[in-house]
């Protein structure tokens, strides 16, 4: 079984082909960062038009990379939400057209489910595992019980961690997206230079980052350029502390269920950060929990995760009808469980 996956929910146009032996036969990501950089954020209309012009060539290139012909595909999967609706329509329509033309199944994949199931491809993670999903749009702690079976333990009540990084970076005059640049700057900075707030440090698994974002932006106005790296290091440390405290809260709930093979999985672009990974890995060692941080190219947005979620679903006998509409908002908890092997 080999599935072609399409990801167009934000500003990456991505196509991949994955088989049911966990082999990645093609993995192409076209980042639109340059098109959006001048605006300091993703412009939905610009993104949708770029997906439209890039996607057909990328699909041909992915087939070439895999050595397969379109007729060899078992199914086509595309991100059907959540995300920017223009891009979702472009990807979904392409996938549906291919499925119809090739007379093979179509799968409309939830982007968050893609992130959630990636560790099964990269690390053969067994259910149930705990997922920390940290990206530009999401910061959530989720108990992954099976395919389609997700229990949200907590999430952000305002901004995502990635948004906090991106907006702080903008205030500091750094490049978009801010995460990678903040990590680089922080390497040479003093993490104790500024005492930034650690919001919502309670027993819950919920997060709040807007106060930290505002504090960092305010600080940015008062400092010398030479202190930018110190702000970056202090901000990174504050976010690390919050992530670790919240994951520790979630461990208590998760471990009370006595999982047979306990594991923490991190996913999303922010999980590319080495300081965050190292902190969470230490926490896992303390609790004797396995730690999975998929390779960075599978943490940030990609189509391997969409094709893989398609494999997981199709092998459980699931497929979608061609009249399924893309959804800009689509919480994971609205999916239905289809298997937990
Ligand atoms: O998952 P992703 O690629 O896109 C979605 O939001 O779905 O995540 C993008 C986010 C951005 O906020 C970016 O600043 C952040 O991930 N990011 C990082 C790093 N690389 C990307 N944050 C911290 N450290 C990094 N190395
Ligand atoms: Zn994502």
3-state secondary structure 212-232: HHHHHHHHHHHCCHHHHHHHH
pLDDT digits (tens, 9 = 90+) for 150-172: 999 999 999 999 999 999 999 99
- State which of 164, 270, 306 you would mutate to test the pocket of ligand 1, scoring each by most atoms of that ligand within 8 A of its C-beta: 270
Query: What pLDDT sits at residue 41?
Result: 75
- CA-nearest residue for atom 16, ligand 1, is 269
- Say how many Å lie between the CA of residue 245 and the centre of ligand 2: 23
**How far apart, in whole angstroms, are the C-alpha atoms of residue 8 and residue 304?**
12
- Summarize pLDDT for 262-283 with one digit per residue, the tens: 999 999 999 999 999 999 999 9
φ, ψ of residue 96 to 5 degrees: the values are -65, -40
Three-state DSSP class for residue 36: helix
How many angstroms separate the alpha carbon of residue 10 from the centre of ligand 2? 8
Q: With a 6 A CB cut-off, is 272 part of the ligand 1 pocket?
A: yes
Phi, psi dihedrals of residue 290, rounded to the nearest 5°: -65, 150
Ligand 1 centroid to 1 CA: how many Å?
31
Judge if the beta carbon of residue 273 lies within 6 A of ligand 1. Answer: yes
Residue 120 scores a pLDDT above 90 = yes
Give residues whose Cβ lies within 5 Å of ion ligand 2.
135, 301
Best residue among 11, 83, 87, 162 to mutate for probing ligand 1's pocket (most ligand atoms within 8 Å of CB) is 162
For the chain, count helices (H), then strands (E). Answer: 11, 10
CB–CB of 141/128 below 8 Å? no
Q: Given CA atoms 61, 67, 68, 69 in this order, what sign does their dihedral have?
A: positive
pLDDT category of residue 46 using cuts at 50, 70 and 90: confident
Sheet of strand 149-155, all strands in order from the earlier edge strand to the far edge? 149-155, 139-146, 129-134, 263-267, 290-292
pLDDT at 176: 83
Decide: 166 in ligand 1 pocket, CB within 6 A. yes
CA distance 339 to 318: 10
The model's pLDDT over 221-250, given as tens digits with 9 standing for 90+, comes to: 999 999 999 999 999 999 999 999 999 999
- CA of 105: how far to CAs of 17, 90, 191, in Å? 15, 18, 51
Ligand 1 atom nearest to CA at 301:
3
Sign of the CA dihedral 86, 92, 98, 101? negative
Per-residue pLDDT, 35:
78
Q: Is the shortest distance between the CB of 301 and ligand 1 below 6 Å?
A: yes
301 alpha carbon – ligand 1 mean position (Å): 9
* DSSP calls for 121-157: HHS-PPSSEEEEEESSS-EEEEEEEEBTEEEEEEEBS
Length of the chain: 341
As a whole-number percent, the residues of the chain with pLDDT over 90 amount to 89
Q: Measuring CA to CA, which residue among 95, 135, 130 is closest to residue 112? A: 135
């Amino acid at each position: 079984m080999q599935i072609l996956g399409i990801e167009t929910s934000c500003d990456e146009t991505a196509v991949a082909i994955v088989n049911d032996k966990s082999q990645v036969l093609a993995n192409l990501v076209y980042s639109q960062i340059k098109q959006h950089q001048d605006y300091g954020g993703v412009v939905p209309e610009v993104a949708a038009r770029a997906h439209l012009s890039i996607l057909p060539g990328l699909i041909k290139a992915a087939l070439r990379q895999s050595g397969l012909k379109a007729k060899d595909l078992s199914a086509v999967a595309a991100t059907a939400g959540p995300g920017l609706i223009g891009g979702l329509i472009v990807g979904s329509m392409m996938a549906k057209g291919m499925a119809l033309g090739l007379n093979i199944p179509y799968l409309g994949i939830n982007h968050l489910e893609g992130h959630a199931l990636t560790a099964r491809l990269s690390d053969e993670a067994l259910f149930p595992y705990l997922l920390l999903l940290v990206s530009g749009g999401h910061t959530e702690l989720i108990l992954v019980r099976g395919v389609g079976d997700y229990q949200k333990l907590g999430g952000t009540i305002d901004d995502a961690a990635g948004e906090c990084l991106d907006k702080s970076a903008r205030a500091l005059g750094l490049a978009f997206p801010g995460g990678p640049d903040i990590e680089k700057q922080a390497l040479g900075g003093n993490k104790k230079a500024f005492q930034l707030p650690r919001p919502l440090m309670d027993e819950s698994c919920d997060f709040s980052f807007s106060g930290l974002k505002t504090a960092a932006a305010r600080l940015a106005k008062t400092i010398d350029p030479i202190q930018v790296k110190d702000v970056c290091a202090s901000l990174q440390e504050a976010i690390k502390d919050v992530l670790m405290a919240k994951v520790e809260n979630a461990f208590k709930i998760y471990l009370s269920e006595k999982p047979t093979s306990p594991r923490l999985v991190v996913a999303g672009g922010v999980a590319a950060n080495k300081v965050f990974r190292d902190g969470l890995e230490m926490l896992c060692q303390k609790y004797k929990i396995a730690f999975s941080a998929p390779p960075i190219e599978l943490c940030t947005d990609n189509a391997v995760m969409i094709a893989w979620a398609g494999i997981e679903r199709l092998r459980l006998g699931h497929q979608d009808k061609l009249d399924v509409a893309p959804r800009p908002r689509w919480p994971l908890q609205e999916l239905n469980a289809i298997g937990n092997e």
